[in-house]
Structure 1
Amino acid sequence: MTTLTQPEPASAPQDPAPFLSVRDLHVRFATEDGTVKAVDGLSFGLERGRTLGIVGESGSGKSVANLAVLGLHNPRNTTISGEIILDGQELTRASERTLQKLRGRKMAMIFQDSLAALSPYYTVGRQIAEPYIKHLGASRKAARERAVEMLDKVGIPRARTRVDDYPHQFSGGMRQRAMIAMALVCDPALVIADEPTTALDVTVQAQILDLLKDLQRETGTAIIIITHDLGVVANITDDVMVMYAGRCIERGTVGEVLKTPGHPYTWGLLGSIPRLTAPVDVPLSPIPGAPPSLISPPPGCPFHPRCGLTGQVGGARCSTERPDIPEGARHSSACHLTPDQKRTIFTEQIQPRPR
């Protein structure tokens, strides 16, 4: 007699791990005044071919978190815990030699301060060519030609001549473009851009953003843009993460976060932007107060001392219970307000305000 057995149900296919995965990242600095909790349990992921915009006020942990990805913190006064995985390779416990092989070739950063990032002792062309020689084994002649090509791509006039100039011979905007060329020279798989268009006029800014888009289309680069400019976020990013006090307080696609934001802090950021359609006599709506101390952050929701909606939550939850972003939610925010309350407040109170 043959016994029929039911086949086991096929397991649901699991989503592949993202190209960059950051899980429960903590970055702390030891100072004379106490321990600075610069990044406090940050988690996010990024796929190849997508751009993530990270926004928030100065001191929210945006740059600190991404410097940790590249392993650029001083280990003598920095404690890093959590998990950072780039293309299957764990970075938080990687040796400095391993990180040096990855920096410039597989991941690169465009720094905000071009004057500090470029050495005054070497020509701009030599500094751009150096990673090309180191990581790809190119000859000095080929690397020089690549440096000329990159300077031309980022809009430096007479690139073949200016390649032999020193940083002090470049204007601030030209130094910024040269630094972008240095970061992109090896076509890295991950590019972290920290305010890459700060010192540039709007025309060159558009050229740089187009250059990043072209690089992404050609090579599938994953890009992180750290910025205060929500116009840049709207123009180039696919996903947005809003940071406050070292934590992610809202995340989602760029359309979701900018059109239907769910956190009072995000509402405040959007309300601080001048609008061409707003009446000239209507003032902006700045966020009251100042960002909290990261040595002794407030209990509960870190934004509650500046939030005008704590009374709608009820009780003392905002000051005693820290809200977290739900796992697996595509668009979510760390706030005790219910989804219905957020929807009602935004559509009836926040959105109608002239801005």
Structure 2
Amino acid sequence: MTSTDSQPFLSIKDLKVHFSTEDGTVKAVDGLSFDLARGRTLGIVGESGSGKSVTNLTILGLHNPDTTTIEGSIELDGDELNGASDRTLEKLRGNKMAMIFQDALASLSPYHTIGTQIGEVYRKHTGASKKAARERAIEMLRRVGIPQPDRRVDNYPHEFSGGMRQRAMIAMALVCDPKLLIADEPTTALDVTVQAQIMDLLKDLQQEFGTSIIFITHDLGVIADIADDVLVMYGGRCVERGPKEEVLRSPQHPYTWGLLGSMPSLDGPVDVPLNPIPGSPPSLLNPPTGCRFHPRCAFASEVEGNRCATERPLLQIEDGRGNACHLSDGQRREFLADLAASKAI
């Protein structure tokens, strides 16, 4: 079955990913839902341990079935991936969906040339000859801005700079023209200049290939540059979602307020102190009841009846915008105005 243009290219419904460990069950993702349209970029943001990477590794089917329980629906272009066979997922990976990992050096084999590694992906999914695969590798290196690609195709990963290795990883991910690209913090280890180049490259390639992108990061500044829509995760759940401009201009959840308050501003006074979120992310072995952010939330006491500690807030989505918080709209506007006036966000 193939979706129509009116349907989301990727649709996640009530996804739960739990890991069995000696200490108990880790609820890494606990009831996550979102859609991604064709040719759009969804930025998923949150602290380490929020469930960002687990979500996307699950989409790709990169989990240990002996220790992982997956519930919910993962529908890609009309096809259900949860419960799909290993053979089906292997065929889709690299061909219809691909991933760029954070550490390119660790992800590339040190024993094979860049061209061989890109070419093998192409050969596996197309049955191309070695000669055709080499030509395709050179073409992809040229597309991602590697100078002298016909010569650099025979280099090993250690002969590339960090930025060039990341470009090579992007070339490998896009060699079979996948329609879904998952980028897991691909610019974290790079300097600011190279980071900007990689971001521009992804946007250019998206326009060329029409690819849908999921961009995982902890940095809202990166989200502001590349994303169309934003999904904020905390403790394995989505706490806020919406178009990038709306989430960054008028955030609705206290956790998003905290993320914005902990970021330095390039256009504001240099002496304004940052406001880090107090405490630590929750244990997913024994997560807090109610709203998982409530132990760290400065506004939980403003909600009557201790609801934040006892009742899980529902994620109410209207026109692609929503949040999971017990604060009323009036309280939210008041607190947001106070935070803005005090330069806390």
Deviations along 1:196-226, whole A, 9 cap, x unmatched?
1123333332332222222222232111000
Alpha-carbon distance, 1:351 to partner: 5.1
Task: Give yes or no for the alignment of 1:96 onto 2:86.
Answer: yes
Alignment partners' CA distance in 2, 1:243 and 1:72: 20
Task: State the distance in 2 between where 1:212 and 1:165 align.
Answer: 23
Question: What pairs with 1:1-355 in structure 2 (closer than 5 Å)?
Answer: 16-350=6-340, 352-353=342-343
The worse-fitting range, judged by mean Cα deviation, of 115-124 and 50-59 is 115-124
Quick one: percent identity of the two aligned structures?
69
Secondary structure of the corresponding residue to residue 133 of structure 1:
helix
Residue 73 (structure 1) shift? 0.6
Displacement after TM superposition at 1:137 (Å): 2.6
C-alpha root-mean-square deviation of aligned residues, in Å? 1.7
CA distance in 2, matches of 1:70, 1:204: 27
Number of equivalenced pairs: 342
Mapped contact 2:103–2:189 kept (Cα < 8 A): no
> The residue matched to 2:35 in structure 1 has which SS?
strand
Instruction: Report how far residue 244 of structure 1 moved.
Output: 0.2
Instruction: State the distance in 2 between where 1:279 and 1:237 align.
Output: 26
| Distance change in 2, residues 1:281/1:217 (3 Å) | closer
Tell me which amino acid in the other structure corresponds to 2:271: D
Q: Secondary structure at the match of 2:55?
A: helix
**CA distance in 2 between partners of 1:235 and 1:73 (Å):** 31
Change (3 A) 1:329 1:335: farther
SS at match of 2:225: helix
The alignment partner of 2:17 has SS state of strand
Aligned-pair CA distance for 1:329: 4.6
Q: In structure 2, do the counterparts of structure 1 residues 308 and 83 end up closer, same or farther at CA, with 3 Å as the change threshold?
A: same
Q: Describe the shift of the 1:150–1:200 C-alpha distance in structure 2 as closer, same or farther (beyond 3 A).
A: farther
Question: Is the 2:27–2:285 Cα contact (8 Å) retained in structure 1?
Answer: yes
Cα deviation for residue 158 of structure 1 reads: 2.8
Equivalent in the alignment of 1:3: none
Q: Secondary structure at the match of 2:39?
A: coil
- The separation in 2 between residues aligned to 1:350 and 1:314, in whole angstroms, is 24
Distance 1:106 1:276 in 2: 38
Deviation at 1:15, TM superposition (A): 9.3
| Aligned CA distance change for structure 1 residues 86 and 174 (closer, same or farther; 3 Å) | same
Equivalent residue of 1:316, what SS? Answer: helix
How many Å separate the matches in 2 of 1:23 and 1:182?
29
SS at match of 1:36: strand
Change (3 A) 1:266 1:136: same
Distance 2:271 2:92 in 1: 52
298-307 or 270-279, which moves further after superposition?
270-279
TM-superposed CA distance for 1:319, in Å, is 0.4
Structure 2: distance between partners of 1:15 and 1:328: 21
The C-alpha deviation readout for 1:118-164, integer Å capped at 9, x for no partner, is 12221111111112112123222222122122223323333222211
- Spell out, residue by residue over 1:256-283, the C-alpha distance to the aligned partner (whole angstroms, 9 max, x if none): 1000000000000001111134333332
- Matched-pair contact (CA < 8 Å) for 1:55–1:62: yes
Write out per-residue CA displacement over residues 86-116 of structure 1, whole angstroms, 9 at most, x where no aligned residue. 0010001100000011000100000112122
The structure whose Rg is larger is: 1
Structure 2 unaligned spans of 5+: none
* Secondary structure at 2:316 match in 1: coil
5+ residue gaps, structure 1: 1-13
Alpha-carbon deviations, 1:263-318, whole Å to 9, x = none? 00000000111113433333210000000000000001000000011121122101
- 3-state SS in 2 of match to 1:346: helix
* Aligned 8 A contact 1:300 1:321 in 2: yes
